[in-house]
Structure 1
Amino acid sequence: MPNWTLKQLESFVWVAKLGSFRATAERLNTTQPNISVRISQLEAVLGVRLFHRDSGSVALTPIGHSLLGHAERVLVASEEFSQQSIRSDQQIGILRLGVAELIAQTWLRDYMLDLRQVFPNVDVELRVDLTINLREELVSRALDLCLLNGPISNFNITNVDLGSVPYLWVASPRLALAGSDIATLAAHTILTHARNTRHFVELSAHFRELWEKPMRIVPSSSLSACLQMTIDGLGIAPLPRTVVEKPLAAGELVEIPYHWKPSALVFTASFAHTPASFLLRRSAELASDRAARHH
Structure 2
Amino acid sequence: MIKSQITFKQLEAFSFVVDTGTFRAAATALGTTQPNISSRISTLEAALDVTLLYRDAGSVRLTTKGKELLERTRDILRAGEALLEAAGRQELIEERLRLGVTELVACTWLQQFLRLLRREYPNLRVELEVDLSRKIEERLWEGQLDLALQNGPFAYQAAGERMLSGETYVWVSNEEIAKGLVGGNSVARFFNRAVLTHARHTAAGRALHDLATERGYDVGKIVHSSALSACLPMVSEGLGAALLPKSLVKSELDQGRLRTLDADWTAPPLEFFARFNADRAPRYVEKASEIAASIRPIAAKDS
TM tier relative to shorter chain? 0.7 to 0.9
Preserved CA contact (<8 Å) 1:171 1:231: yes
1:186 aligns with 2:191: yes
Aligned residue identity for 2:93: Q
Instruction: Specify whether residues 201 and 246 from structure 1 end up closer, same or farther in structure 2 by C-alpha distance, changes over 3 A only.
Output: same
In the TM superposition, 1:266-285 aligns within 5 A as 266-285=271-290
Q: Displacement of 1:23 after TM fit?
A: 1.0
> Structure 1 residues 221-230 or 54-63, which shifts more?
54-63
Instruction: Specify whether residues 214 and 142 from structure 1 end up closer, same or farther in structure 2 by C-alpha distance, changes over 3 A only.
Output: closer
Instruction: Specify whether residues 18 and 121 from structure 1 end up closer, same or farther in structure 2 by C-alpha distance, changes over 3 A only.
Output: closer
- Partners of 1:123 and 1:214 in 2: how far apart? 45
> Structure 1 residues 219-228 or 35-44, which shifts more?
35-44
Aligned to 1:169: 171
Instruction: Find the residue that maps to 1:164 and give its secondary structure.
Output: strand
Aligned residue identity for 1:169: W
- Partners of 1:31 and 1:213 in 2: how far apart? 56
Aligned to 2:113: 111
Aligned to 1:97: 99
Preserved CA contact (<8 Å) 2:212 2:218: no
Preserved CA contact (<8 Å) 1:185 1:236: yes
- Partners of 1:214 and 1:104 in 2: how far apart? 29
Scaled by the length of structure 1, the TM-score of the pair is 0.85
Instruction: Specify whether residues 7 and 94 from structure 1 end up closer, same or farther in structure 2 by C-alpha distance, changes over 3 A only.
Output: closer
- Partners of 1:97 and 1:256 in 2: how far apart? 35
- Partners of 1:214 and 1:38 in 2: how far apart? 58
Instruction: Find the residue that maps to 1:236 and give its secondary structure.
Output: strand
- Partners of 2:186 and 2:127 in 1: how far apart? 45
- Partners of 2:290 and 2:57 in 1: how far apart? 42
- Partners of 2:39 and 2:19 in 1: how far apart? 18
Preserved CA contact (<8 Å) 2:158 2:275: no
1:231 aligns with 2:233: no
Aligned to 1:19: 21
Preserved CA contact (<8 Å) 1:151 1:267: no
Aligned to 1:240: 245
Q: Displacement of 1:127 after TM fit?
A: 3.1
1:258 aligns with 2:263: yes
Aligned to 2:222: 217
Aligned to 2:124: 122
- Partners of 2:69 and 2:287 in 1: how far apart? 28
- Partners of 1:173 and 1:107 in 2: how far apart? 27
> Structure 1 residues 116-125 or 21-30, which shifts more?
116-125
Instruction: Specify whether residues 18 and 125 from structure 1 end up closer, same or farther in structure 2 by C-alpha distance, changes over 3 A only.
Output: closer
RMSD: 2.9
Structure 2: runs of 5 or more not aligned: none
Preserved CA contact (<8 Å) 1:138 1:271: yes
Instruction: Specify whether residues 114 and 267 from structure 1 end up closer, same or farther in structure 2 by C-alpha distance, changes over 3 A only.
Output: same
Number of residue equivalences: 295
Deviations 1:125-154 (A, max 9, x none): 333322222223333333333322147665
Scaled by the length of structure 2, the TM-score of the pair is 0.83
- Partners of 2:271 and 2:158 in 1: how far apart? 20
